[in-house]
Copies of this chain bind each other. A is one copy, B any other.
Amino acid sequence: MKRYERFADEISELIRKGVLAPGERVPSVREASRHYGVSPSTVFKAYYQLEDRGLITARPRSGYFVREQAPRLLTEPEATPGQQETADIAVSELAFSVLSSLQNRQTVPFGSAFPSPALFPLARLARSMAKGLREITPAGIIADMATGDGDLRRQIALRYRMGGTPLPVEELVITNGAMEALNLGLQCVTSPGDLVAIESPAFYACLQVLERLQLKAVEIPVHPREGIDVEILAERLARLPIRACWLMSHLQNPLGASLSDARKQQLYTLLKAHDVPLIEDDAYAELYFGSRPARPVKHYDDVGLVIHCGSFSKSLAPGYRIGWAAGGRYAEAISRLKLMTTISPSVPAQVAIADYLHQGGFDRHLRKLRHALESQQRQMLAAATRYFPRETRVTRPTGGYFLWFEFPRRVDALDLFHRALDAGISIAPGPIFSATQAYRHCARLSYGDPWTPRSEEAMAILGKLLATY
């Protein structure tokens, strides 16, 4: 990262934390240069970038000011208390009908689970694919199927190391996206009928996997900013024979919550005391808006209890279907289960990503991606403030590409989903994020696509629909 980029990140951090408030004047170039010990040209470049990211704005003859954010008319939601204690799950039918509605490419994709592929370096990946395929020997194309491409595993291990969580290459199992890693991980540590602690609201795929494996959910409430309620989890662990825990410690889907380091450590200590393995879904690891990556719970794992699942699908290569599990003590079992079910992820996709990582430029791409998502979030928040009912509550995640809306209780999100779809707009209605189909007045909206006048118009239409309840 260049010096001015680091400096821009520092200032953006001050803005995010409110140290520099909306409307406030940003230190002049001379002041900043003196105060932070950087050259005036570094400050200039940083301010240009911050302006570009929409965080500050220049006023003629007055200097730079923190941009007026969407006025905080919409407050953040509170944690929802747990529903029932354990639940059989039957969410698939509903989730599938929502998902299949997303296949129409003409629809405004607020309901999508993927950021726009236009945000990714697809052409460069294609070149890496061509290069990788030229360099692989015929024997190599089948030799590494069981373990995954050696280069790719080393590159992933390197990124863990750079992130402060070194782990042995042997722990890494390359999978068909994070989804397969999560599936295999959960399957390795449970049997049908077992209880699994999950978040509420939770990523609907988690609910589907539990349903498929005939596991029972113990739903633990998630605070929209702080993440999963560790006290409630502790109480449940003490009382119920919970066999595994599946959660997202960072940029939780759908709330966007992230656990503090202290809470992560507390969570890990708790799970370790009960010897309950953690399946940690960290699909959005790279999509933080701040200047530093979050450490996963895996960071604190000293006995191999955490199966940390990552992916390139949301950070680099959508559709390539390459993810991994850092499987801890379960790595061997996960690898075998994979051999029995899909054998191996696509080798060309693996060599393409390995070559791309080798070439460098991943971090540069990620910074661009983060800035794009950050700016898109701001635009969706501003639009929601303009068009949605005043009582609406909305999260303010520090990364990712989802906002979670709590509408007034009179709103029926499933009804809204159907009416919005008729108007050419998809949303992800609240009930698909709950084992018990709670969150009937909530919805997850994605800002993963570049903001356009059409997005603005779609928000206005949603606002009109919301006004009818």
- The answer to whether A141 touches B122 (Cβ under 8 A) is yes
- The answer to whether B138 touches A342 (Cβ under 8 A) is no
Which one of B129, B176, B205 lies within 8 Å of A133 (CB-CB)? B129
Which one of B116, B139, B176 lies within 8 Å of A105 (CB-CB)? B139
A54 at interface (Cβ–Cβ under 8 A)?
Answer: no
Contacts of A345 on B, CB cut-off 8 Å?
176, 321, 346
A38 at interface (Cβ–Cβ under 8 A)?
Answer: no
A341 at interface (Cβ–Cβ under 8 A)?
Answer: yes
* Number of interface residues, chain A, beta carbon within 8 A: 55
Query: In the assembly, what is the distance between CA of A322 and CA of B344, in Å?
Result: 11
Q: Which residues of chain A from 158 to 188 have any CB-CB distance to chain B below 8 Å in the complex?
A: 176-177, 179-180, 183
Contacts of A139 on B, CB cut-off 8 Å?
105, 116-118
Contacts A180-B341, A342-B342 known; A126 to B117 CB distance under 8 Å? Answer: no
- The answer to whether A100 touches B342 (Cβ under 8 A) is no
- The answer to whether A141 touches B348 (Cβ under 8 A) is no
A421 at interface (Cβ–Cβ under 8 A)?
Answer: no
Contacts of A177 on B, CB cut-off 8 Å?
342-343
Query: In the assembly, what is the distance between CA of A105 and CA of B140, in Å?
Result: 9
A114 at interface (Cβ–Cβ under 8 A)?
Answer: yes
A386 at interface (Cβ–Cβ under 8 A)?
Answer: no
Query: In the assembly, what is the distance between CA of A292 and CA of B320, in Å?
Result: 36
Among residues of B, the one whose C-beta sits closest to the C-beta of A183 is B341
Contacts of A349 on B, CB cut-off 8 Å?
346, 348-349
Q: How far is the CB of A234 from chain B (nearest CB, A)?
A: 30
- The answer to whether A320 touches B342 (Cβ under 8 A) is no
Contacts of A103 on B, CB cut-off 8 Å?
143, 146-147
Q: Which residues of chain A from 327 to 386 have any CB-CB distance to chain B below 8 Å in the complex?
A: 336-337, 339-349, 352
Contacts of A114 on B, CB cut-off 8 Å?
142
- The answer to whether A336 touches B143 (Cβ under 8 A) is no
A134 at interface (Cβ–Cβ under 8 A)?
Answer: yes
Contacts A138-B120, A192-B192, A343-B177 known; A319 to B145 CB distance under 8 Å? Answer: yes
Given contacts A125-B133, A142-B318, 12 further A-B contacts (CB under 8 A): A103-B147, A117-B141, A120-B138, A122-B138, A176-B342, A177-B342, A183-B341, A319-B346, A319-B348, A341-B341, A342-B342, A348-B349
10 contacts between A and B (CB under 8 A): A114-B142, A117-B138, A117-B139, A129-B133, A176-B176, A177-B343, A179-B340, A319-B346, A320-B347, A321-B342
Q: Identify the A interface with B (CB < 8 A).
A: 92, 96, 99-100, 103, 105, 114, 116-118, 120, 122, 125-126, 129-130, 133-134, 138-139, 141-143, 145-147, 176-177, 179-180, 183, 192, 205, 208-209, 212, 318-322, 336-337, 339-349, 352
Top 10 A-B pairs ranked by shortest CB distance? A346-B346, A319-B347, A117-B138, A141-B319, A126-B133, A176-B342, A346-B349, A118-B138, A208-B340, A321-B346
